[in-house]
Structure 1
Amino acid sequence: MSGRLSLLIVSLATAIGGLAATTVPTDSKAYFDFETVQLTDKSLSLLDSNTAALFRFYNQTDTSANPTNGRACKVFPGDASWPSNRTWETLNKVLGKNALIKTIPLAAPCYDAWDYNSTQCASLTANWTNSYLHMTDPTSMMSPVYQGLTCQVTTDPTQSCTLGGYPSYAINVSTVSQVQLGINFARNSNLRLVVKNTGHDFSGKSGGAGALSIWTHNLKDVKYFSNYSAKGTEYTGPAFKSGVGVQAFEIYKEAYNRGLVVVGGEGQTVGVMGGYIQGGGHSPLSCLHGLAADQVLSAEVVTPDGRFVTADFTQNTDLFWAIRGGGGSTFGVVTSITVKAYPDMPVTASTFSFAVGGNNGSITSENFWSGVRNYLDYFPSLSSQGIYAYWFILSTASGPMFLMQPFWAPGKTLDETNALLAPWFAQLTDLNITFTPKTVHYDSFYPGWLASFPLEAVEKTHVATGSRLFPKQNWESPESLNATFEAIKTSSEAGLTIIAFIIDPSLKNGGYPDNAANPAWRNTYAHVLQSINWAQGASAAVQLQARQNFTFGFMQRWRDVSPGAGSYLGESDILEPDFQQSFYGTSYERLLKIKKQLDPMDVFFAQTAVGSEFWKVVTANGLPSGDGKLCRV
């Protein structure tokens, strides 16, 4: 690297940390410190034209600044236009703090080709399904089938380990300027760009072969407002402004310490201020307060042109509407979000299970399914009481097992919770189904949540999942509810796993904000998932056949009994037909219009995201994953 270029890079890094930093606003809604460090036109002016071209902002009137002209695909490793090592080094120096990370797969210590280490490999293998392990890695994805399964932990270090669908590089962002530099660099170099917070997404949105990743996990700042007044809305009350890297276990504890709760997920390690909120976000508090997207009062965002903006009810309103439910990795990179908070509350949680063959073999299949069918009758009345039930139907050696983990009753006493469960429990007893519920009362939300919800296992290597928001109309007649039940039962009897929730985030007593969340959420009593397995190590042809049978067989059966309803985009089938309707409903047309206005160069792409129908990932084996070149359709 020439001395002249080195000097210019140092000058830019200095400018970004100094004269490019904005003055912290003096009002109570100030930026976080990391948000005051911003890239500006003035800092770019310190560079010669060739270097500045790597990082310049996008101007829609400057057609010469469009690197995608005449190119069918994003630049991929091995292409002639792939950035040179010198260019990557330039990016690293401009970012500062060694923020640019060249991807080393998390499982690399298990392979000879990546400097095998038996101790590290054993530790990784022992903890591989724990989400806490993967969330702190810059590129690891918790749904490995969308990475391509090219580097899992193994007992055979002679096997190969390749990047597959992992991005080539990640930026460990600690300032807004680094987000801006990453977006501008990817756009100006025609690179695939992805965003990772924790990597929880079921469709692998946080990965992509040959991509540059914006890793937001370490943006952990939190600020509390005791009396936040949001312009453009009537809300005045407690609120938290949180960096996008803040996770459920962190914000729940922060709120608990102040006698408050916020609407977040049931999963401990989910990044609630990131893709979770942007995708809508269902919560143990949704039947009381709505979706997580309904809580947003303001957001700071770096848009596809590289500019840093505030989006709220009075400014950048289309962007604000879209990021509240329209999906992550689509309209920009959110750096922080301000959300409502509510008074803390006591909760009661009950866990129990029963299975075919239980009670010393006396629970028959017929009685088991009668008990499950009876349970469905109570969804409308339970949801009206604010209940959020997290339940499973699992396959065991003796037959199906029903697992409640937990029946979650916010604001209810022990006696009130037992009274809600009593009618169904009586029916189960009449069916000779006996069990021992563990029902515990907690004085506050956070201790109850921490004790009651299981830590979700990740890294499922032979599983495909889809979901359905079964509409309230299905509870209007015995015939329609029986059809819903039979569709779920058919999947279970075929060996599929059922994971489901009682949930009704319609807020019929108070309404909900106008945002991009799938309208199907406002018309449901049940969010139900099903998962299909195939044999470990099955061929690509076998996997594809299993997935097609799942999407167009089992999932189609669910769609047939819920016409016009939808699915949750965060827990979804990547092959969902007409995903625009299923995941976004009537919001899609407006979302696509906003996407085209904000991102005319398609800087952002994610599987099943808004606008993704104009692109495809070309995989070598034909399986749906991020392991391939991203090309226009």
Structure 2
Amino acid sequence: MESKLRSTLMASILWTTATAAPPASGPIKYTDLLNSTIPNAPTNLTNLFLPGLAPSELIQSSACKVYPEDANWPSDSAWEALNKVTDNRLLTRPSPQASVCYDGPLYDPEKCAELTATWSSSYSHYIDPVEMMSPVAQGMTCMPPNVFDSHNCTRGGFPAYVINATEPKHVQLGVNFARNTGVRLVVKNTGHDFLGKSGGKDALSIWTHHFKSIEYIEEYTDESLKWSGPAFKSGVGVQAFEIYKFAHEKGHSVVGGEGETVGVMGGYIQGGGHSPLTSLYGTGADQVLSFDVITAAGDFITANSTSYTDIFWAMRGGGGSTFGVATSVTVKAFPDHPTTASRFSFTSEKIGNETFWAGVRSYVDSFIPNADAGTYSYFTLIPNVWTGIFTFNMSPFFAPNKTLEETKALLQPWFTELGNLGITFDPNITHFDNYYDAWRSSFPLEVVSKVNATTSSRMFPRANFETADKREELYQNLRQSSENNRVQVHFNIKAVDPLNTDNAVNSAWRENILFAQQAVRWPVNGTAEEILRIRQEFQTGDMQRWRDISPGAGAYLAEADRLEPNFGQAFWGDKYDKLVELKRKLDPYDVFFATTSVGSERWKVHSVDGLPNENGKLCRVDAE
């Protein structure tokens, strides 16, 4: 069923990509638009859509964003006007997908069974206007009972209204409406973010998924960015499988995520973005040549190295849903190249735990030379608390622009050590004549997060691998996490930008050799108090061990825990003070907010159960 779902969706979306026209540009003639769509409307209604207006004193002094139970919640006529000016693209209280599983007008047991069968697939979520791929961050208030029994279906952290935007003017009008009414605003592309930043209880959401145009630019020159060569201008809704295919057909590749359904031009690229090509070309944000952006004032601008340079600097690594809403992004294109990949696994079942861990330890010695060679390895360490067996999965070792022989030479020192230890495995080394086929054949489909787990991350710098003692220290900490029943996902990668681009990307990426993640789990039916305690102990325990051995390093803002302490330093390092200053300048009324985003410490979500999720009002911290 999942295969059929994926093939149908891909066929539909690839057709849309190939045929979609570039989005309309130019300033909105607000007076003409409002007169034609809501004629004879009173001034207090039309003012809701005008740009550049500071919110009223009432909104500026309000302790919280505006919610349905508040007296100044927009009237039905205001919402209807928003629908009209956005070409009838406003969705009113779109139902969570799992509504079909619970008593009510949408109950449908057959549809519930179909949904349950594909629930973990990202293909069943990114096409939905409200669903997030981190149900824990949503609040798990409407889940298929066989996945997690929420007992009923409530909206929880889902938005109340969604603008299914297809043109910049739809975004502008939504931003203006949210700013001028005080309603909480969120932005969703695909919903991949680990922290649930695309959700918000009773918010107005701008859904950018259908900005699907792609334009090939044969020659793009920007002397300030030291770039002269081909580029792609893509709508922010373009996903990895779309841009990679389009680039391949033009004989090129682009830096994007390994996950096929990730919206690479949205929050991914604005948050930095690591890639199978990062060890060659840098992060996703390093590739940006230009943004088309709607600002907090409702202006539609083009930000690049010579125009609106502050917002251009900030949006290359400063995080999505923070400084503006991008509608399209122009990125560098690179020549296509052959690629070699290797996928294999081994377990401790027959060789014993000590031999297994000796094999893992021998791999750590290869991290610096492999990253310096431009490769990208994606591997996991999986503990089984019931059997005591540990599993290592390489899925894959990815070597862009490497021949079969060159890749074998890189892997051979480690493979020799594994052989000497008596560890047998099938390396399955395969050579492809282009990047697209290698990528498509090598990486697993990303899944919707579990209902009883969350992930935290750390970037381990080169200093952690430069001596045998430091490598041993890091290995012991990874082993300790596995023995503490932490599932680990790792990326052996470096992210040094060859052109030394000045942007907001976390400086910790520039020294990174191992981007490491570990997950904490809790009982599926645990109480809120128990879950919070376990999550806090994870941060003060296993995660703190990782921080202690990598002082001054950081974490990746898109794959992290909402409880990350001192998130400003962790996610942006020495860039954070400048980013906070720019946030106050570019968005002085905090129109844009996302948990753990720049400046978000001024606000707090008061969740219903006290857990870190979006199921609650967003209020000012200084109003508590």
**Is 1:416 aligned to 2:410, yes or no?**
no
**Is 1:388 aligned to 2:371, yes or no?**
no
Question: Which of the numbers 492, 495, 520 marks the counterpart of 1:505?
Answer: 495
Question: Which of the numbers 290, 293, 311 marks the counterpart of 1:298?
Answer: 290
**Is 1:430 aligned to 2:424, yes or no?**
no
Aligned residue number for residue 53 of structure 1: 47
**Is 1:338 aligned to 2:327, yes or no?**
no
Q: Bigger CA drift: 394-403 or 418-427?
A: 394-403
**Contact kept in structure 2, 1:231 and 1:314, CA below 8 Å:** no
In structure 1, give the amino acid aligned to 2:292.
Answer: E
**Contact kept in structure 1, 2:319 and 2:597, CA below 8 Å:** yes
In structure 2, give the amino acid aligned to 1:153.
Answer: P
What are the ranges of 5 or more consecutive residues in structure 1 without an aligned counterpart? 1-30
In structure 2, distance between residues paired with 1:407 and 1:364 = 24
What are the ranges of 5 or more consecutive residues in structure 2 without an aligned counterpart? 1-19, 36-40
1:166-187: CA deviation from partner (whole Å, max 9, x where unpaired): 1111100011111011001111
Aligned residue number for residue 10 of structure 1: none
Cα distance, 1:530 vs. partner?
Answer: 0.3
**Is 1:457 aligned to 2:447, yes or no?**
yes
Cα distance, 1:37 vs. partner?
Answer: 6.4
**Contact kept in structure 2, 1:327 and 1:610, CA below 8 Å:** yes
Cα distance, 1:367 vs. partner?
Answer: 1.2
**Is 1:203 aligned to 2:195, yes or no?**
yes
In structure 2, distance between residues paired with 1:551 and 1:436 = 37
Cα distance, 1:232 vs. partner?
Answer: 3.3
Aligned residue number for residue 9 of structure 1: none
Alpha carbon RMSD of aligned pairs, Å?
A: 1.6
Equivalent runs, 1:366-385 vs 2, <5 Å: 366-385=354-373
Equivalent runs, 1:33-182 vs 2, <5 Å: 33-36=22-25, 38-43=27-32, 46=35, 48-59=42-53, 65-154=56-145, 159-182=151-174
**Is 1:191 aligned to 2:179, yes or no?**
no
In structure 1, give the amino acid aligned to 2:287.
Answer: Q
**Contact kept in structure 2, 1:395 and 1:495, CA below 8 Å:** yes
**Is 1:599 aligned to 2:593, yes or no?**
no
1:467-500: CA deviation from partner (whole Å, max 9, x where unpaired): 0000111112222222211111111111110000
In structure 2, give the amino acid aligned to 1:514.
Answer: D
Aligned residue number for residue 6 of structure 1: none
Question: Which of the numbers 435, 442, 458 marks the counterpart of 2:432?
Answer: 442
In structure 2, distance between residues paired with 1:616 and 1:565 = 26
In structure 2, distance between residues paired with 1:563 and 1:157 = 41
Q: How many equivalent pairs are there?
A: 594
TM-score, with length taken from structure 2: 0.93
In structure 1, give the amino acid aligned to 2:214.
Answer: V
**Contact kept in structure 1, 2:459 and 2:509, CA below 8 Å:** yes
Specify the SS of the correspondent of 2:419.
Answer: helix
**Contact kept in structure 2, 1:356 and 1:368, CA below 8 Å:** yes
**Is 1:478 aligned to 2:472, yes or no?**
no
In structure 1, distance between residues paired with 2:465 and 2:561 = 25
**Contact kept in structure 1, 2:52 and 2:298, CA below 8 Å:** yes
**Contact kept in structure 1, 2:403 and 2:431, CA below 8 Å:** yes
Cα distance, 1:234 vs. partner?
Answer: 2.9
**Contact kept in structure 1, 2:143 and 2:150, CA below 8 Å:** no
1:356-403: CA deviation from partner (whole Å, max 9, x where unpaired): 11xxx2x12111111111111111111111110000001233411110
Cα distance, 1:42 vs. partner?
Answer: 3.6
**Contact kept in structure 2, 1:110 and 1:157, CA below 8 Å:** no
Specify the SS of the correspondent of 1:306.
Answer: coil
In structure 2, give the amino acid aligned to 1:268.
Answer: E
In structure 1, distance between residues paired with 2:171 and 2:499 = 35
Question: Which of the numbers 512, 515, 520 marks the counterpart of 2:508?
Answer: 520
1:148-197: CA deviation from partner (whole Å, max 9, x where unpaired): 00000125999310000011111000111110110011111101100000
1:409-444: CA deviation from partner (whole Å, max 9, x where unpaired): 111111211111111011111111111111111010
**Contact kept in structure 1, 2:456 and 2:560, CA below 8 Å:** yes
Q: Bigger CA drift: 153-162 or 380-389?
A: 153-162
In structure 1, distance between residues paired with 2:295 and 2:131 = 25
**Contact kept in structure 2, 1:67 and 1:188, CA below 8 Å:** no
Q: Alignment identity in percent? A: 51
In structure 1, distance between residues paired with 2:567 and 2:273 = 18
Question: Which of the numbers 215, 225, 247 marks the counterpart of 2:239?
Answer: 247
In structure 1, give the amino acid aligned to 2:394.
Answer: M
In structure 1, distance between residues paired with 2:43 and 2:338 = 61
In structure 2, distance between residues paired with 1:100 and 1:336 = 23
**Contact kept in structure 2, 1:290 and 1:512, CA below 8 Å:** no
**Contact kept in structure 2, 1:101 and 1:172, CA below 8 Å:** no
In structure 2, distance between residues paired with 1:118 and 1:542 = 33
**Contact kept in structure 2, 1:281 and 1:292, CA below 8 Å:** yes
Specify the SS of the correspondent of 1:587.
Answer: helix
TM-score, with length taken from structure 1: 0.91
Equivalent runs, 1:308-323 vs 2, <5 Å: 308-323=300-315
In structure 1, give the amino acid aligned to 2:370.
Answer: L
**Contact kept in structure 2, 1:58 and 1:65, CA below 8 Å:** no
